[in-house]
Amino acid sequence: MDKLPIKTVMVVMVDHRKEVATKVQQILTGWGCLIKTRLGLHDGVLDNCSDVGLIILELVGEEKQHQELCRKLNLLDGVKAKYISLSFDD
């Protein structure tokens, strides 16, 4: 029987997006080989752009790498990152 897939997703909430976005981007670029899918969301229309953003990442690689990426993001002021691994075995 084939082993069921495990999916790891990280959610990153960014407050004060305009001030911290560059640092978040540097970290994500440095760990880019772990990121299979990235979706960035924020409320904004023209000049009424929200200062809070949400980034959803689908990750590949080892759990220790995911933990380190999460730790580095959480070191930034105004950034909160959490990740979960999902499988049908759970």
Give me the residue spans of the domains in the chain. 6-87
* Residues 11-21 pLDDT 10s: 999 998 889 99
Determine the average pLDDT of the residues in 32-48: 86
Determine the average pLDDT of the residues in 49-56: 89
Global pTM value: 0.87
User: CA-to-CA distance for 69 and 51, rounded, in angstroms?
Assistant: 23
- Name the packing angle between helices 17-30 and 63-74 (round to 10°): 160
CATH of domain 6-87: 3.30.70.1150
CB atoms under 10 Å from CB of 77, counted, come to 9
pLDDT averaged over every residue in the chain: 90
Indicate the SS3 state at residue 45: strand
Chain centroid to CA 14: 10
Q: Is pLDDT above 70 for 85?
A: yes
User: CA-to-CA distance for 82 and 66, rounded, in angstroms?
Assistant: 10
